[in-house]
C-alpha cells in the first residue's frame, strides 16, 4: 500500500483551473465505446491470461473502451496538441474483467512517484502568448525551437514550465519533448497508444517474459494539420460517425518482448525499436453507447486490475497508480474498480 499522503498530494497536484473534483483530474473528457477483442492464434503460446485463449464466443471477448484527451479540463479542446488515452476493459468469464490503460506517449514523465510529484507541481499551466517574429529568430539563433503559437482561445498551457523543468531534470526530457510536439489526431482511431510500463507475462510452458503493450491503429496514425486546427469538439462525433450503420474500426495489440539490459522498472526509458514483437490480437470497436455516464464518466479503470498470466513489474510508477486511481475514482464518485487481487 502506497503512502496515502503521497497519493493524495499527487492527485491534488494534478488539479488545475478548468477542471472539476467531480471528474477525472486528468483525461477528463472522453468517449466510451464498446466492441470485442479476438486473440491472435499465437497469443495463447505467449500468455496464459484468459483473454488470450481461443474464445468460446465467435466474436471474442467483449470490451469497454474509453478514449480521452489527456488534459484535466472539462472543456473539449479536441483540436489542441495533447496526449490521448485509450483504456480497455476486457470482460472475462464469471463476471471478471481486466484492464489495459494506455496513452499516446511511449514513455512517462518521471521514474518514481516523488519525482512525478515534483514534476506535476512544477509543470502547471501558465499564461502563454504568441512569440514575436523577433523572438522566434532569436530562438533559432540560439539553436532552440520557438514555442508553438497558442491555439485560438488558449491563454494558459503547461509547456513552458514543463520544458524549463525538463531542462534541469534529464529523466523528464523524453516525455516532455514528445508531449510538447505530439499534436492532435484526426480521430481517436488514428493514434497509437502505449501501456508504457513493463508487465510480466507467463507463457504456456510457464516461462516468464518482460513485455510492453501497444495498441496500433489498423487505419494508421494521422494528425491534424497544426496550421489549420479543427474545431474544439469533433472527436466524439467522429467516433459516432465512424461506427454508424454497423461500420467498425480496429486496433492490433502488439506485445514487445524485453531483453536483458532493457529497463523493466523505469517507464521514462524506451526500449530499442528492434525488440521482438508479437501480434496478440485485434480489437474491434462497434458502438458508442448512448449512456455515456455508465460507459465513460463513471467507469473506473486501474492498471493494477490484472488477471492470472499478467503481473505488474517492479516499476514504482505502476505501483503507485493502483492507489492513485482508486483515490481519484472515490473522489469523483466513480464506480469502484473490482480488483483481481493481484496486490494487497
Rounded Cα distance, 112 and 99, in Å: 22
Distance of closest approach, residue 23 Cβ to ligand HEM, in angstroms: 8
Residues 6+ apart with CB under 8 A from 309: 47, 48, 49, 50, 52, 201, 202
Q: Which of residues 13-32 bind ligand HEM (CB under 6 A)?
A: 14, 24-27, 30
Q: Is residue 332 part of the contact set for ligand HEM (CB under 6 A)?
A: yes
Rounded Cα distance, 342 and 323, in Å: 13
Q: Is residue 125 part of the contact set for ligand HEM (CB under 6 A)?
A: no
Q: Which of residues 35-64 bind ligand HEM (CB under 6 A)?
A: none
Per-state percent for the chain, helix, strand, coil, to nearest 5: 30, 25, 50
Q: Which three cell numbers stand for residue 104?
A: 499516446
Q: Is residue 286 part of the contact set for ligand HEM (CB under 6 A)?
A: no
Q: Is residue 103 part of the contact set for ligand HEM (CB under 6 A)?
A: yes
Rounded Cα distance, 341 and 305, in Å: 8
| C-beta of 85 vs 281, nearer to ligand HEM | 85
C-beta nearest to ligand HEM: residue: 85
Q: Is residue 329 part of the contact set for ligand HEM (CB under 6 A)?
A: yes
The string of DSSP letters for 254-294 reads EEEEP-TTS-SS-TTSPPPTTS-EEEEEEEEEEE--S-HII
Stretch that binds ligand HEM, among 108-116, 155-163, 165-173, 223-231 (CB under 6 A): 108-116
Rounded Cα distance, 161 and 41, in Å: 47
Distance of closest approach, residue 19 Cβ to ligand HEM, in angstroms: 11
Q: Is residue 256 part of the contact set for ligand HEM (CB under 6 A)?
A: no
Number of residues that bind ligand HEM (CB under 6 A): 33
Distance of closest approach, residue 110 Cβ to ligand HEM, in angstroms: 7
341 secondary structure, DSSP code:
S
Residues 6+ apart with CB under 8 A from 152: 229
Q: Is residue 87 part of the contact set for ligand HEM (CB under 6 A)?
A: yes
Interface residues toward ligand HEM, by CB under 6 A = 10-11, 14, 24-27, 30, 66, 68, 85, 87, 101-103, 108, 113, 116, 195-196, 267, 299-301, 317, 320-321, 324-325, 328-329, 332, 334
Amino acid at each position: 500500500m502506497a503512502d496515502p499522503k503521497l497519493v493524495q498530494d499527487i492527485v491534488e497536484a494534478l488539479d488545475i483551473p478548468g477542471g472539476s473534483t467531480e471528474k477525472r483530474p486528468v483525461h477528463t473528457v472522453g468517449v466510451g465505446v464498446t466492441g470485442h477483442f479476438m486473440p491472435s492464434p499465437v497469443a495463447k503460446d505467449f500468455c496464459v491470461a484468459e483473454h488470450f485463449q481461443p474464445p468460446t464466443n465467435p466474436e471474442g471477448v467483449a470490451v469497454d473502451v474509453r478514449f480521452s484527451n489527456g488534459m484535466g479540463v472539462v472543456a473539449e479542446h479536441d483540436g489542441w496538441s495533447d496526449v490521448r488515452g485509450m483504456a480497455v476493459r476486457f470482460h472475462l468469464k464469471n463476471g471478471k474483467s481486466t484492464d489495459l490503460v494506455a496513452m499516446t506517449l511511449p514513455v512517462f514523465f518521471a521514474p518514481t512517484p516523488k519525482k512525478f510529484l515534483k514534476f506535476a507541481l512544477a509543470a502547471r499551466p501558465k499564461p502563454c502568448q504568441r512569440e514575436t517574429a523577433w523572438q522566434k529568430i532569436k530562438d533559432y539563433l540560439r539553436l532552440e525551437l520557438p514555442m508553438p503559437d497558442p491555439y485560438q482561445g488558449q491563454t494558459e498551457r503547461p509547456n513552458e514550465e514543463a520544458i524549463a523543468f525538463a531542462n534541469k531534470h534529464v529523466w523528464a526530457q523524453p516525455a516532455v519533448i514528445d508531449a510538447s510536439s505530439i499534436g492532435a489526431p484526426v480521430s481517436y482511431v488514428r493514434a497509437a497508444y502505449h501501456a508504457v510500463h513493463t508487465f510480466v507475462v507467463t507463457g504456456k510452458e510457464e516461462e516468464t517474459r518482460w513485455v510492453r503493450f501497444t495498441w496500433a491503429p489498423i487505419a494508421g496514425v494521422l494528425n491534424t494539420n497544426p496550421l489549420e486546427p479543427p474545431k474544439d469538439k469533433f472527436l466524439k462525433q467522429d467516433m459516432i460517425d465512424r461506427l454508424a450503420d454497423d461500420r467498425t474500426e480496429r486496433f492490433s495489440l502488439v506485445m514487445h518482448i524485453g531483453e536483458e539490459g532493457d529497463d523493466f522498472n523505469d517507464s521514462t526509458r524506451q526500449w530499442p525499436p528492434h525488440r521482438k514483437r508479437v501480434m496478440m490480437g485485434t480489437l474491434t470497436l462497434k458502438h458508442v453507447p448512448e449512456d455515456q455516464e455508465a460507459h465513460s464518466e463513471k467507469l473506473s479503470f486501474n492498471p493494477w486490475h490484472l488477471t492470472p498470466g499478467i503481473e505488474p513489474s517492479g516499476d514504482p510508477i505502476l505501483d503507485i497508480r493502483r492507489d492513485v486511481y482508486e483515490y481519484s475514482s472515490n473522489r469523483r464518485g466513480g464506480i469502484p474498480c473490482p480488483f483481481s487481487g493481484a496486490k494487497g
